[in-house]
Amino acid sequence: MRTKDLELYIHIPFCVRKCHYCDFLSFPMDNSDMASYCRQLIKEIESWDIISQGYRITSIFIGGGTPSVLEGLWIERILEAVFSTFSCIDNLECSIEVNPGTVDENKLKVYKRAGINRISFGLQSTNSEELNILGRIHTYEDFLESFNLARKIGFENINIDLMSAIPTQTLQSYETTLERICALNPEHISAYSLIIEEGTDFYGNKAVLSQLPSEDEDVEMYTLTNDILGKFDYHRYELSNYTKKGYECRHNIGYWRRIPYLGVGLGASSLFEEKRFSNDVDFSQYLDNSQWQNKFKKAYTLTRKEQMEEFVFLGLRMIEGITKEGFVQKFGNQIEEIYEQPLKESIEEGLMEETKEGYRLTSKGYFLSNHVFVKFI
């Protein structure tokens, strides 16, 4: 039987406490509720047995929340359920998000034994005042300890999440963060700019908002990221993601290239057989549910037009852009037949350029990517 690629996202919605800028589906929870959740999550994973036949898993991402707040044993059991339910490729990428201060040597050893081969640390900044303002639970020293432990145990593929445009952050302090992190030589760095989201502690907090870097500084920080990381042999392969050669995050590339994925766990969303659907976001409803596949069966199938739009605006997040051949293969039309006007306009405005294989954003386009994306919708 010919197999098709499939990615798996596993959501662990628990955190020690809520960071002030966070609008992710995450919250503190006691041990017994976390255990009930994990039992239910395992049932959900196993319920995909039939439907996923003909697919093979190419990457797993355990995200959150803070998956590392769970006892290591749960991560092991969850992955056992995955491996006994799905067929997986040999060189599977298996990542877990970890917050500094929530792992010890024993937990990291369990992760390794369970099949995890990529760790993503949520650090954000090396500056203690900035970490404090963000409401992070850890210090830079906590991070160093966790990072060094992960290296000692043999993790050779580590990502570090960083953030720019943090209240009180200066170009100088951001530069220090970038240089300290590069000196540690992680394989991958994600560097996002803080966005103030509705419903977070930061939203509407005038004292905090008055300390945000200006828009010009925000732009300078974005440029600085590429400049400094470039000096340390990281290359940008997506708008906010940088890597050493060969360590691109395959799971995330799958999202941008529209590889089908199943999301399991509270609120997790999926793209499967051109349907997009999500789980309940209500914790008790998730625990009561046993009909996950109904979501798939009743889900809305994306129209061809929507699939094309996604192909373009997700693909353009990648620095290499989108290929003409990929578009033809998927939709049977030349991309120019469908998007003549937005392509022409974006090129004239200097936001996109044509390459030998297709189209991509220009450096100017990186700053105005949303302005480009809406032209295709």
Site for ligand SF4, rule CB under 6 A = 15, 18-19, 22, 24, 26, 64-66, 99, 122
Least Å distance, CB 27 to ligand SF4, is 8
Q: Of 19 and 158, which has the nearer Cβ to ligand SF4? A: 19
Least Å distance, CB 61 to ligand SF4, is 14
Q: Of 24 and 272, which has the nearer Cβ to ligand SF4? A: 24
Residues 6+ apart with CB under 8 A from 234: 182, 189, 242, 243, 244
Report yes or no: 273 and 54 within 8 Å, Cβ to Cβ: no
Least Å distance, CB 120 to ligand SF4, is 11
Q: Of 122 and 315, which has the nearer Cβ to ligand SF4? A: 122
List the one residue out of 217, 261, 197 whose CA is nearest residue 18. 197
Q: Of 65 and 213, which has the nearer Cβ to ligand SF4? A: 65
The tokens for 171 are: 């170009």
Q: Of 194 and 253, which has the nearer Cβ to ligand SF4? A: 194
Amino acid residing at 295: K
Least Å distance, CB 263 to ligand SF4, is 16
Q: Of 18 and 235, which has the nearer Cβ to ligand SF4? A: 18
Angle at 32 between CA 28 and CA 37, to 5 degrees: 75
What is the separation of C-alpha 136 from the centre of its chain, rounded to a whole number of angstroms?
Answer: 19
User: Rounded to whole angstroms, how far apart are CA atoms 340 and 352?
Assistant: 13
User: Rounded to whole angstroms, how far apart are CA atoms 86 and 310?
Assistant: 27
Least Å distance, CB 246 to ligand SF4, is 27
Report yes or no: 185 and 229 within 8 Å, Cβ to Cβ: no
Least Å distance, CB 125 to ligand SF4, is 13
Question: In this structure, are strands 358-361 and 352-354 parallel, antiparallel, or unpaired?
Answer: antiparallel
Least Å distance, CB 148 to ligand SF4, is 21
The tokens for 53 are: 């036949």
Q: Of 66 and 169, which has the nearer Cβ to ligand SF4? A: 66
Phi, psi (degrees; rounded to nearest 5) at 275: -115, 140
Helix (H) / strand (E) element for 304: namely: helix 304-315
